[in-house]
């Protein structure tokens, strides 16, 4: 079944406003819900601004832009979503906030509504339980900015049915995205592989006394990643990265330990692009021999984690590679790259 018609998006922040644009651009009537009227107004403005930017660039006609803007309306309660074919939750990443929203979904959405969460890492299975309809809840993990990034991870919770996963895959395709099917695990797929590689590189740089600029140059020139782990950390937000790696360390053990370099930056209030501080990096620096071990450790860890995801059937091998290409900008996925370099994926960093 291909969803069409009415989409509900709950949470009008960075992600919700972009997802609302995507739905309207695909022809759906979108209701964007936020309990904070100021956030709702700002979210509606952001969604409409995307249409205006595309109009200015000649990528939309005036009629198309007007049509998109006209198909997005705002509301302050989930009760406005009872007629929606699909609802995507994108509220703040706090379990207690999301659980309350999913309880409201259970009470107020139609029985056939596809219910999705854009969570970056909270349990789809737990959210599904809160909705009281665990079989019809799925993760739809868009990447930021959602109007541009091509990847969507479709996360299957413990009780999500095949039919619901298929509907979510079709929805993502209709919104112009490339979906990959992911079985739920902490970190899902892209963040699990990427965060593992990043924190391994941070710990190696720290113990070998390699500075962030040299470490980034080694990684950017040493394999398929488009940038080094320190520059990427600055972009993601160092507090967000610390929080994700600490959660993943709890789930998987010390291979996800964030290490001192990251913890010290966060303690000193240097959070990357969002705070204006962060790791000091120069993207134009040439690679040096002394920093090569950081690159080996980074790619070794990524390959090992990617291989573990394939082995655990979190996603199939082709999708593991595709997800890193589309979600993280890698030229080649880690498993295909390991094969092309003659690297034995069972012989890389410990999983
Ligand atoms: P955000 O803080 O920009 O927006 C969250 C919005 O939710 C706010 O406007 C807030 O008012 C609203 N909200 C809070 N409680 C609500 C409720 N009960 N009902 C309705 N609205 C409510 O957050 P964001 O960055 O857009 O992230 C949203 C979700 O998307 C999170 O789960 C996050 O993990 C995930 N995500 C974020 C990114 C990213 O890079 N920002 C990427 C992928 C996924």
- Alpha-carbon distances of 89 from 25, 58, 99, 142, 296, rounded to whole Å: 18, 31, 11, 11, 39
Q: Are residues 295 and 337 in the same domain?
A: yes
Task: Give the residue from 183, 202, 181, 193 showing the smallest Cα distance to 303.
Answer: 193
Structure confidence by residue, pLDDT tens digits, 43-61:
999 999 999 999 999 999 9
Q: Among residues of the chain, what percentage have pLDDT more than 70?
A: 97
pLDDT of residue 350: 55
CATH of the domain at 72: 3.40.50.720
Query: Does 34 contact ligand 1 (Cβ within 6 A)?
Result: yes
Select from 41, 77, 79, 90 the residue to mutate for testing ligand 1; criterion: most ligand atoms less than 8 Å from CB: 90
Residue-number span of the structural domain to which 56 is assigned: 3-183
Looking at every residue in the chain, the average pLDDT score rounds to 95
Please confirm, yes or no, whether 141 is among the known catalytic residues. yes
Q: Are residues 207 and 332 in the same domain?
A: yes
Residue 67 burial (CB count, 10 A): 15
Structure confidence by residue, pLDDT tens digits, 169-181:
999 999 999 999 9
Query: Does 243 contact ligand 1 (Cβ within 6 A)?
Result: no
Q: Are residues 149 and 282 in the same domain?
A: no
Measure 344 CA to ligand 1 centroid, in angstroms. 40
In the set 29, 133, 141, 297, the catalytic residue is 141
pLDDT of residue 274: 83
Structure confidence by residue, pLDDT tens digits, 221-232:
999 999 999 999
Atom of ligand 1 nearest to the CA of 42: 9
Q: Are residues 86 and 103 in the same domain?
A: yes
Phi and psi at residue 211, in whole multiples of 5°?
Answer: -80, 160
Confidence bin at 22 (pLDDT 50/70/90)? very high
Statement: the pTM of the whole predicted model exceeds 0.85: yes
Indicate whether 240 pLDDT > 50: yes
Looking at the structure of the chain, the number of domains it has is 2
Residue 218 burial (CB count, 10 A): 27
Q: How far is CA 115 from the centre of its chain?
A: 18
Atom of ligand 1 nearest to the CA of 236: 40
CATH of the domain at 241: 1.10.1040.50
Atom of ligand 1 nearest to the CA of 39: 9
């Amino acid at each position: 079944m291909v969803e069409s018609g009415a989409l509900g998006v709950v949470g009008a922040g960075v992600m919700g406003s972009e997802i609302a644009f995507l739905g309207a651009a695909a022809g759906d009537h979108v209701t964007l819900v936020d309990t904070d009227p100021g956030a709702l107004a700002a979210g509606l403005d952001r969604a409409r601004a995307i249409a205006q930017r595309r109009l200015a660039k000649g990528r939309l006609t005036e009629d198309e832009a007007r049509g998109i803007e006209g198909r997005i309306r705002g509301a302050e309660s989930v009760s406005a979503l009872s007629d929606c074919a699909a609802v995507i939750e994108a509220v703040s990443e706090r379990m207690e906030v999301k659980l309350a929203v999913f309880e409201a979904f259970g009470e107020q959405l139609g029985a056939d509504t596809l219910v999705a969460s854009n969570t970056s890492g909270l349990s789809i299975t737990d959210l599904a339980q809160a909705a009281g309809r665990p079989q019809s809840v799925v993760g739809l993990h868009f990447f930021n900015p959602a109007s541009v990034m091509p990847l969507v991870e479709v996360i299957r919770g413990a009780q999500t049915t095949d039919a619901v996963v298929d509907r979510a895959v079709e929805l993502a395709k209709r919104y112009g995205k490339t979906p990959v099917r992911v079985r739920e695990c902490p970190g899902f797929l892209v963040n699990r592989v990427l965060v593992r590689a990043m924190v391994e590189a941070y710990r190696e740089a720290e113990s070998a006394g390699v500075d962030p600029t040299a470490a980034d140059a080694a990684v950017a020139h040493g394999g398929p990643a488009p940038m080094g782990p320190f520059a990427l950390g600055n972009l993601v937000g160092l507090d967000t990265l610390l929080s994700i790696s600490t959660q993943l360390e709890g789930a998987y053990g010390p291979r996800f330990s964030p290490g001192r370099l990251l913890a010290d930056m966060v303690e000193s209030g240097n959070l990357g692009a969002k705070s204006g501080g962060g790791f000091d990096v120069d993207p134009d620096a040439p690679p040096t021999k002394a920093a090569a071990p950081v690159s080996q450790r980074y790619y070794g860890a990524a390959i090992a984690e990617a291989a573990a995801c394939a082995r655990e059937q979190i996603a199939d091998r082709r999708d593991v590679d595709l997800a890193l290409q589309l979600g993280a900008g890698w030229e080649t996925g880690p498993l295909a790259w390991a094969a092309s370099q003659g690297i034995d994926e069972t012989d890389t960093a410990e999983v």
